[in-house]
Amino acid sequence: MIKLIHGDDEFSSKEILNKFTGDKTKIESDINIIYSNSLSESGFNELVNTMSLFGENRKLIFIDLLTKIISSKNEQWKEFNEVCINKPSMNELIFFESKEINVSSNKIKKFMELAEVHLNNLPTGRGSWDKIRNWILSRQNIHQIELSNEAVNKLIELIGNNYRYIDNELIKLSNFKPEERIEQSDIEIMVSGIKESSIFELIDSLLEKNIFRSNQLINEFIDNGQSFFNIEQMLARQLRLIIIVQDLLGKNNNKEIQNKIQIKSNFAFNKILDQAQKFSSNRMRSMLQNLLKLDIGIKIGDKSEKEILKQLVHIL
């Protein structure tokens, strides 16, 4: 079995990934996570053709490998499709991509004929409000909670399309008023977003290796009820915006860039622009990749959220 999970909705993608990987605590589970940055074609071939020592099935999860293959030179990864086609039947390949990939690329043409594809993108633009609203309604049964129409609208107004953040708030609200209808006033009391200015300051502190201030800011977020996932998602969003701006600099004027990244606040855009010019693109991409590693570390059960929070400042 070969599966592809891609798109910028990491929350939904990771939920699907968890379903595929199953119970990781079982002794016979043979689950391997491989990051693409240090993986060669020969290394991939060897991994795919290695049999499990623990049980019948072996699951290999490749992080952002297809993005790497699609952008590689023509002479590289020539055998990728054939290796996938001829893999041992007991080995399951799962390709996890943190953004939507070009599924029409000739480099993965035969692969796409075999793969079970799951695309998860966050809703944007026209109709996105209704999509977010329907998603919240679908999560009500999971968390055994009921929100009024006004409460749902207020939640979207405060958080937007950050599904992980929304889901975390739904959990908090279900504990706040179990078996009672959640009203707009409850949302206003319980839901507090992380201020953009604080996230910008945290990014500055992390990039400047100011450990004392970084720890101080993270502790402030936690004291205000934020989880690692809230902090991680806000950091990841800002880092992605900074990387996009870095790619656009020199090709577009500032106003065009602001329109393209859809940031209405001049303060927020100027801060993103300043950080894009101040720090290198490689540093930003490395920081974003390390965030993903931390997040996956929690998801696969390697580390607790408390342990991750202690590492956050040092690993970034």
Rounded to two decimals, the pTM is 0.62
- The whole-number pLDDT of residue 26 equals 54
Average of per-residue pLDDT across 221-242 = 76
Question: What does the pLDDT look like over 108-146, one tens digit per residue?
Answer: 999 999 999 999 998 877 888 999 999 999 999 899 999
Question: 31 with 61: CB under 8 angstroms?
Answer: yes
Burial code of 141-171, b = ≥16 C-beta within 10 A, e = fewer? Answer: eeeebebeeebbbbbbeebbbbbbbbbbbbe
**pLDDT greater than 70 at residue 64:** yes
When mean pLDDT is compared across 126-130, 143-147, 164-168, 198-202, the lowest value belongs to: 198-202
CATH of 196-315, one of 3.40.190.290, 3.40.50.720, 3.30.300.20, 1.20.272.10: 1.20.272.10
Question: What does the pLDDT look like over 202-221, one tens digit per residue?
Answer: 888 887 888 888 888 887 77
- The whole-number pLDDT of residue 154 equals 87
Q: What percent of the chain has pLDDT over 70?
A: 85
| Bridge pairing between strands 58-63 and 116-119 | unpaired
Q: What percent of the chain has pLDDT over 90?
A: 25
Question: What does the pLDDT look like over 31-62, one tens digit per residue?
Answer: 888 888 889 999 999 999 887 766 678 889 99
Q: Which class would CATH give 128-190?
A: mainly alpha
- The whole-number pLDDT of residue 303 equals 58
When mean pLDDT is compared across 1-5, 145-149, 308-312, the lowest value belongs to: 308-312
Query: In the chain, what are the domain boundaries?
Result: 2-119, 128-190, 196-315
- The whole-number pLDDT of residue 291 equals 80
| Cα torsion angle, 106, 50, 296, 137, sign | positive
Q: Which class would CATH give 2-119?
A: alpha beta
- The whole-number pLDDT of residue 111 equals 92
> What are the residues whose beta carbons fall under 8 Å from the beta carbon of 241, sequence distance 6 or more?
261, 263, 272
Q: How far is CA 248 from the centre of its chain?
A: 22
Tokens of residue 244, six digits: 């996009």
Question: What does the pLDDT look like over 290-302, one tens digit per residue?
Answer: 887 776 666 555 5
Average of per-residue pLDDT across 58-67 = 92
Determine the Cα–Cα distance for residues 74 and 247; give it in Å rounded to an integer.
Answer: 23
Tell me which range, 47-51, 149-153, 194-198, 248-252, is most confidently predicted by mean pLDDT.
Answer: 149-153
Nearest residue to 72 (alpha-carbon basis) of 106, 46, 113, 114: 106
**pLDDT greater than 60 at residue 194:** no
At residue 278 the predicted structure's pLDDT band, cuts being 50, 70 and 90, is confident
- The whole-number pLDDT of residue 306 equals 56
- The whole-number pLDDT of residue 148 equals 93
- The whole-number pLDDT of residue 138 equals 93
| Cα torsion angle, 275, 279, 280, 284, sign | negative
- The whole-number pLDDT of residue 221 equals 75
Question: Average per-residue pLDDT in the chain?
Answer: 83
When mean pLDDT is compared across 16-20, 203-207, 246-250, the lowest value belongs to: 203-207
